[in-house]
Structure 1
């Protein structure tokens, strides 16, 4: 079982990594943050790209720039998970999840898909944050290694 996590802190390092892997012919499954720029968006608004080649799905509710409540659209997240579920039993080398977040920490979200990817023998790479790091470590049974959030370090781990 090969599982790791990184803490990109707002960087699109997993997105960049997925593009580099694609260029090298390394097959991916999962989701990464789509590199979408919109001047009217809030910093927490997010679209994800289902790997390897889409679709892009907005997983946040548009509440306006000044809104401070939770923006996650759980039905859109479920849609993204459904898209990945259609691909998880296919052929790929690396499963990437842009964020092990609150949904995963509380037992939902992409947890089952991570487990399925591991069962399929793929390397699994998950992004997380300080809030959910302990929940991810518990979920992985302490088997996940921490990788610094750089494309070169993440790529080296995948290739090892």
Structure 2
């Protein structure tokens, strides 16, 4: 059994999030049982960083994973406790039958062995296909985690859906 995991990376800030959110919506509309998180960024203007929320797939709730550190702050704005709350919610939903796991980002927490890393492993062990957003900063850690077996797919809803459909076709083909 090969590892059923794809990753995608887009150039613009927040573009990977948009692609994965649209993919999750399309798959849900097609009747697939999605699980995971899609990130929704709210623009707060030129002088403030965006607010980061994740939608627990398939249909919510939304969880704010960023924290306001003030206008002069330069540190990471991720709220670790909010992220772990989202992880717990996804873990609970994984038990209800899932066709695909979508994770908005393999980030610093995942690179360090936390965050959604264990859920990704559980899905792969259960032969649930996984699609993950990755940024260049964490690509090497992601490739180590997947032992180089993850498939890169361009940040395009049609191409990601086609990758997933291709898995279905290969898994249903006679041996």
Same fold at TM > 0.5? yes
* Partner of residue 138, structure 1: 144
SS of the residue corresponding to residue 46 of structure 1 reads strand
Match of 2:103 among 76, 94, 97: 97
CA distance in 2, matches of 1:44, 1:127: 18
* Partner of residue 171, structure 2: none
Q: Which blocks of at least 5 consecutive residues in structure 1 are unaligned? A: none
SS of the residue corresponding to residue 30 of structure 1 reads strand
Measured after TM superposition, the shift of residue 6 of structure 1 is: 0.5
* Partner of residue 7, structure 1: 9
SS of the residue corresponding to residue 32 of structure 1 reads strand
Deviates more, 1:67-76 or 1:96-105: 67-76
Q: Which blocks of at least 5 consecutive residues in structure 2 are unaligned? A: 167-175
Deviations 1:110-135 (A, max 9, x none): 11000111122211000010000010
Measured after TM superposition, the shift of residue 65 of structure 1 is: 4.7
Relative to its length, the structure with more helix (as a share) is 2
Q: Which runs of 4+ in 1 moved over 6 A?
A: none
CA distance in 1, matches of 2:49, 2:97: 34
Asked if 1:106 is matched to 2:127, the reply is no
What is the total number of aligned residue pairs between the two structures? 159
